[in-house]
Amino acid sequence: MSDIDKIISSKLPKGRSLWQDGLRRLWKRKLAMICFAVILIYFLLAGFIYAAELFHWHVGPIQWQEEVGRQYESPGWKHVFGTDIFGQSVLRKMLYGAKISITVALCASIISIVIGVPLGAIAGYFRGVTDEIIVWVYSTLSSIPYILLILAFAVVLRDKALFGYKLTGITTVYLAIGLTSWVGICRLIRGEVIKHKNREYVMAAQSYGCSNSRIIFRHLLPNVFHLVIIDFSLRFVSFIHAEVILSFLGLGEATRPSWGAMINDARIELSRGVWWQMAAATAAIFFISLALNIFGDALRDSLDPKLRIQ
């Protein structure tokens, strides 16, 4: 570097990338950070339960089967959320439910991103017949009511073997949700890629003779990936809800406690005045839903390039 260059660069203000800038703005939002902490707690809890099961740690949530009291004990100091029909701790079941919900939402999100993002990028980049086929497929899928489609997938997949691995409970649930919910992200990425396709950096890559796959995956996708993250944070909530609905309808996880199954159990218990199982599951869903929604909104605002200019 010549002396002149050094002088110029030292005079120029230090630049920040889109990500750095976004995260900086996010950090300033206190409510968003509190929500992020809540989300982190849920994730850590799920991770902790996985670890406890793997290493056989004797901790509460994984010993949810243990009888800790009498049948239907109301909440108190001894049992914060009371006990269920078998005298099992509702609190432990609620905590264990976090593992099921986070696993389902995470796996379903990954499946939908893995399917939706490349398809959207390919459709947007190539257009023509490829685009028409992909648009036709997702239009057909999105014309079927979402819950009915998930139910149909869940029923079809249940107890079937996939590559020699038998699909049961939780696996069926996240496969059913993942395979049916890639349409939104696919549509979003397609639109964004169409917009970016004629930008200079893409044309430059084309004139350099880069292959189409390199342009899509190395140039286009990194530039639209912030949308995937925003979409992920908002979609995560709807996947948790979908798991709850499936379990409530008896198509989800049946052998371990999940929030949907807890609400299903509580439905008939309410008439005998047992409200605590319903309250515990609902509270667990409420807090993560609220946190994810607020955090998702904040993330969108922070990563929006237009807001950056303002």
Q: Interface with other proteins by CB under 8 A: which residues?
A: 65, 71, 85-86, 159, 168, 250-251, 254-255, 261, 264-265, 267-269, 271-272
Q: Give 238 or 277: the residue with its C-beta nearer to other proteins.
A: 277
First to last CA, the chain: 34
Helix axes 146-157, 221-248, angle to 10 degrees: 70
Q: How far is the CB of 262 from other proteins (least distance, A)?
A: 10
Q: Give 88 or 181: the residue with its C-beta nearer to other proteins.
A: 88
Q: Give 19 or 86: the residue with its C-beta nearer to other proteins.
A: 86
Phi-psi region of 29 (alpha: psi -120 to 50; beta: other; left: phi over 0): beta
Residues in CB range of 185: below 8 A, 6 or more apart:
112, 113, 116, 117, 120, 228, 231, 235
Beta strand ranges found along the chain (DSSP E): 161-162, 165-166
Q: How far is the CB of 85 from other proteins (least distance, A)?
A: 6
CB contact at 8 A, 117 and 186? yes
Give the max Cα distance, the chain: 83
Q: How far is the CB of 65 from other proteins (least distance, A)?
A: 6
**What are the contacts of 14-20 at 24+ separation with CB within 8 A?**
18/226, 18/303, 18/305, 18/308, 19/226, 19/303
In this structure, the number of other CB atoms found within 10 A of the CB of residue 189 comes to: 27
Q: How far is the CB of 190 from other proteins (least distance, A)?
A: 38
Q: How far is the CB of 168 from other proteins (least distance, A)?
A: 8
Q: How far is the CB of 287 from other proteins (least distance, A)?
A: 25
Q: Give 243 or 265: the residue with its C-beta nearer to other proteins.
A: 265
Q: Give 105 or 261: the residue with its C-beta nearer to other proteins.
A: 261
Residues in CB range of 303: below 8 A, 6 or more apart:
18, 19, 22, 226, 229, 230
Q: Give 231 or 253: the residue with its C-beta nearer to other proteins.
A: 253
